[in-house]
């Protein structure tokens, strides 16, 4: 029997999902950060700042971070700004279009000596065991076909004592807000994607993928199964997003 996975509301062969996801991000790469601002009314900035606070890069010691599926560099640049002079971030992404946007931004903002960009699959990271002090992923884990493999890889590349921090959309847990959020997500966001990015269907997929992502307790269990200790999560903005973390001890 052919193994399948969800691609939005549809089920597709597992082997085909990554290519379909790649097509989505190829289409939206140039408007990705702008669309994040518009879709979240700028809240994604506060959410990402909360992720950086959770990582807490030191001001006076060497510190290396792997930012997974972080192609445009948005999280990486925030980490560099928060950390000390010895903070370094490696951004990996499977999509070369997203990475190209990140490299261009790094050249403009002067972060090209502090941020390294690498094309890599989250399910098979091309980095040595115990290489990084922290690993992050923001709004990317739900697009990975085999989430458990990506978590195992994140665990593998962390040093002992390293921290994994994941920011992902979640399930709204406030009555009435949940219905309004669904109406907004399935009607306004695809229309906005059509106008701004010229691709309503890709944003319809991104909305549908949120609904398929495990609930916070279930994802926390996946982190524990991958080997992480002291696993915790914090919901924000009425449950629109959840910040997950775990340690390699």
CB 247 within 8 A of CB 226: no
The values of phi and psi at residue 119, to 5°, are: -80, 120
Query: Which pLDDT tens digit goes with each residue over 71-108?
Result: 889 999 999 999 988 999 999 999 998 899 899 989 88
pLDDT for residue 121:
95
What percent of the chain has pLDDT above 90? Answer: 54
d(CA 21, CA 23): 5
Residue 146 main-chain phi, psi, to 5 deg: -120, 90
Confidence of residue 58 (pLDDT cuts 50, 70, 90): very high
d(C-alpha 85, C-alpha 81), whole Å: 9
Whether the model clears a pTM of 0.75, i.e. scores above it, the answer is: yes
For the segment 172-212, what is each residue's pLDDT rounded down to a tens digit?
A: 877 777 788 787 777 777 777 777 667 777 777 777 888 88
Residues 249, 246: Cα–Cα separation, whole Å: 9
CATH H-level superfamily of 4-247: Vaccinia Virus protein VP39 (3.40.50.150)
Per-residue model confidence (pLDDT) at position 8: 44
Would you kindly state where each structural domain of the chain is located, as residue ranges? 4-247
């Amino acid at each position: 029997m052919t193994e399948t996975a969800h691609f939005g509301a549809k089920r597709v062969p597992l082997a085909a999902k990554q290519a379909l996801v790649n097509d989505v991000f190829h289409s939206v790469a140039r408007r990705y950060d702008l669309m994040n601002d518009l879709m979240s009314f700028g809240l994604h900035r506060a959410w990402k700042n909360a992720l950086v606070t959770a990582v807490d890069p030191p001001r006076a010691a060497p510190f290396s971070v792997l930012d997974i599926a972080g192609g445009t560099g948005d999280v990486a640049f925030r980490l560099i700004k928060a950390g000390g002079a010895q903070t370094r971030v490696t951004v990996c992404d499977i999509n070369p279009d997203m990475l190209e946007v990140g490299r261009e931004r790094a050249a403009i903002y002067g972060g090209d000596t502090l941020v390294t960009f690498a094309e890599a699959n989250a399910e098979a990271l091309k980095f040595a065991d115990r290489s990084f002090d922290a690993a992050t992923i923001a709004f990317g884990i739900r697009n990975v076909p085999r989430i458990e493999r990506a978590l195992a890889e994140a665990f593998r590349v962390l040093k002992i004592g390293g921290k994994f921090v994941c920011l992902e959309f979640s399930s709204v847990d406030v009555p009435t807000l949940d219905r309004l959020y669904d109406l907004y997500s399935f009607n306004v966001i695809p229309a906005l994607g059509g106008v701004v990015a010229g691709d309503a269907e890709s944003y319809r997929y991104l909305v549908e993928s949120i609904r398929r992502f495990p609930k916070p307790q279930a994802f926390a269990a996946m982190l524990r199964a991958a080997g992480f200790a002291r696993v915790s999560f914090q919901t924000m903005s009425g449950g629109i997003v959840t910040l997950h973390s775990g340690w390699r001890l």
